[in-house]
Amino acid sequence: MPQEVFQQAAQAVLNYNNTGLSILEIGHRTSTFQAVMDEARALVKELMQLDDKHEVLFLHGGASTQFMQVPMNLLDDKETAAYADTGVWGIKAIKEAKLYGKVEVVCSGKESNYTAIPKDFAVPNDAAYFHITTNNTIYGSQWQKIPNTSTPLVGDMSSDVFSRVIDFNAFDLIYAGAQKNMGPAGVNLLVVKKDLLGKIKRPIPTIMDYRNHINEGSMLNTPPVFAVFVCMLTLRWLKSIGGVAAVEKLNDAKAALLYKTIDESPLFRGTVVNEDRSKMNVCFVMNDPSLEVSFLAFTKERNIVGIKGHRLVGGFRASLYNALPINSVEVLVQAMKDFAQLQP
């Protein structure tokens, strides 16, 4: 997250807007917090350029909560939902959906060990919805082209929300855990087209029913006040630097620099096919895996942290989320070049 957001959040914990109160102790029903919630929701609408059919909510829980809450609200027992299996998070979403109705996995990247986004598939017209994971955080693949389907489209955008210009209105439902591009863990952004709701027969527990949250202006119960506040600060920051189009340019530059270095290096190689490479999570391995431990130690000496790949993929993963400055990528790229120089 941006440094200025950390500073503003820290100040607000001590004394929010000179009220003498901490953001952590103001009541969520006060006009002070109402203004925060209103601004956060309005900024999402503005930055995503959403039309009036889409509602914006901030809900408790992680993105994993939405694996369950989406089918609970959209999938009737006898209906079928279509899912794309593009890796771990998609698989977890599929597992939960099966608790509520039928699931048809219309495509899977499993055979290629999730090194590519599946291309040839058909979504049944009568499916309740089609679910994709727009960016696959663990494998480093990303849907560069959002599928065009007549079926309502649901997107888990946890790891690439607000990172690139796409037609957000093409989605009937978007969810994203906050902790990558927005704010602290514990809150989900949910964008949903109102007319998609209220079609299933199953009773939905009050707190799980999106309609209740919409009716109560995303304040059905105590919201995660601090997390929503920090999301609002990050969204303000995003707007101040020029919005999604501006941050996309920065993200493109960061990803291009790192992928170029990987492709030109005799030591490293990317794990995902070029056209599906993620601009948020760059996954790469070494041609000689026995060098990986020493490369990791080499980068640690240069204060580069958090680049060890997920255990399912191995190697390395550099996450280039919105707030990461390009000079951090330059430091990594330099380390990769210097390490190569040291090899016999």
Ligand X SMILES: Cc1ncc(COP(=O)(O)O)c(C=O)c1O
Which residues bind to ligand X, rule: CB under 6 A?
62-64, 89, 133, 137, 156, 158-159, 177
How far apart are CB 168 and ligand X at their closest, in Å? 16
Residue whose CB is nearest to ligand X in the complex, by number: 62
Q: Is 156 tagged catalytic?
A: yes
User: Which position among 156, 172, 209, 276 bears the catalytic label?
Assistant: 156
The least CB distance from residue 136 to ligand X, in Å, is 7
Active-site residue identified among 89, 143, 237, 276: 89
Whole-number CA gyration radius for the chain: 21
Q: How far is the CB of 178 from ligand X (least distance, A)?
A: 8
Give 8 or 163: the residue with its C-beta nearer to ligand X: 163
Which residue, among 131, 231, 228, 144, has the nearest Cα to 180 in the 3D structure?
A: 231
Residue with tokens 């006898």: 78
Q: What tokens does 162 get?
A: 């607000």
Nearest to 66 by CA among 108, 106, 100: 100
Q: Is 89 a catalytic residue?
A: yes
C-beta closer to ligand X: residue 53 or 145: 145
Which residue lies nearer to ligand X by CB, 16 or 210?
210
Mark whether 276 is an active-site residue.
no
Could you give the CA distance from residue 59 to residue 21 in angstroms, rounded to a whole number? 24
Question: Is the Cα torsion angle 221, 32, 161, 323 positive or negative in sign?
Answer: negative
* Shortest reach from residue 156's CB to ligand X, in Å: 5
Structure tokens at 340: 């190569």
When the beta carbons of 8 and 135 are compared against ligand X, the nearer one is 135
Query: Got the DSSP string for 51-114?
Result: -TTEEEEEEES-HHHHHHHHHHHH--TT-EEEEEE-SHHHHHHHHHHTTTSEEEEEEE-GGGTT
- For 150-164, give the DSSP string: SSPEEEE-TTTTTSS
C-alpha distance from residue 65 to each of 9, 92, 186, 344 (Å) = 26, 11, 10, 50
CA distance 155 to 47: 17
- Neighbouring C-alpha atoms within 13 Å toward the C-beta of 179: 10
Output 160 or 248, the one with its CB closest to ligand X: 160
Q: Are strands 153-156 and 141-142 parallel, antiparallel or unpaired?
A: unpaired
Q: How far is the CB of 294 from ligand X (least distance, A)?
A: 28
Beta carbon of residue 143, minimum distance to ligand X (angstroms, whole number) = 12
Strand ranges in 184-260 using DSSP code E only, listed in sequence order: 187-193
- Residue 158 or 218 having the CB closest to ligand X: 158
Q: Residue 201 CB, nearest distance to ligand X (Å)?
A: 28
Catalytic residue among 85, 143, 180, 279: 180
Pick the closer one to ligand X by CB: 149 or 188.
188
CB 197 within 8 A of CB 129: no
Which residues are designated catalytic?
89, 156, 180
